[in-house]
Amino acid sequence: MNLTLQNKRALVAGGSRGIGAAIVKRLAREGAHVAFTYVSKPDMANETVKAARALGVKTLAIQADSADAKAVVAAVERTVAELGGIDILINNAGIAKLGPIGAFSLEDFDHTVAINVRAVFVATQAAIKHMKEGGRIINIGSCNAERMPFAGGAIYAMSKAALVGLVKGLARDLGPRGITINNVQPGPVDTDLNPKDSEFASMLINQFMALKRYATGDEVAAFVAFLAGPEAGYITGANLMIDGGFSA
């Protein structure tokens, strides 16, 4: 087993299922102690905890809604208290509300921005108070920041595009401290919320994908683990596609 992250302390915002759970397990496999947040479905959170602990690392599930700034800060502080610090922050929590602009409610707009953008800022601000040189911050954005090929996705695309600018700016703020920050932009990934065998998936694969399949959560997690590791120490301020050619 390649323990490239041995004894590192990580927090994954939104880690109980899908891409987040894959990231939790991959970081654990590489030796990191991992805390993660979840909103609901404690059974799924418990399964992720068990899978990570089976790899011999400390694992902590924290119930916290990323729309609640105080809960986000509390999750960071609890991670630091229980794991003894924080070296890696993965901002994975996100929502995708789609709809025509004329009917898109202000409530849905604010909720999207609160989770997809504000929570990233809040968690980052809280985490860097404890991070030392070599710290890693990795946001999970979306290929839709670069390309939104169908109607109804404007607000989601906007929220993910905001991370592009945030990462570029924060790379300048954090570089002198030896902390890197990058944005991973997945294309379609097979999850319970976006399964690879749906009618929507078939449309995306046939019309937009260079590689005629969805990604797996493990593929995204492997990319994240690389960015969290020592070999990626000179990568910062980058917005990196893992989208099967969706944006090509």
Catalytic residue, chosen from 38, 156, 214, 234, is 156
- Inter-residue contact 119 to 66 (CB < 8 Å): yes
Is 156 designated active site?
yes
| Sign of the dihedral defined by the CA atoms of residues 66, 29, 164, 167, in that order | positive
CB of 211 closer than 8 Å to CB of 244:
yes
Tell me if 150 sits within 8 A of 162, measured CB to CB.
Answer: no
Please state, in angstroms and rounded to a whole number, the distance separating the CA atoms of residues 27 and 168.
25
Q: How far is CA 110 from CA 116, 156, 170, in A?
A: 10, 11, 23
Rg (CA), the chain: 17
* Catalytic machinery residues: 156
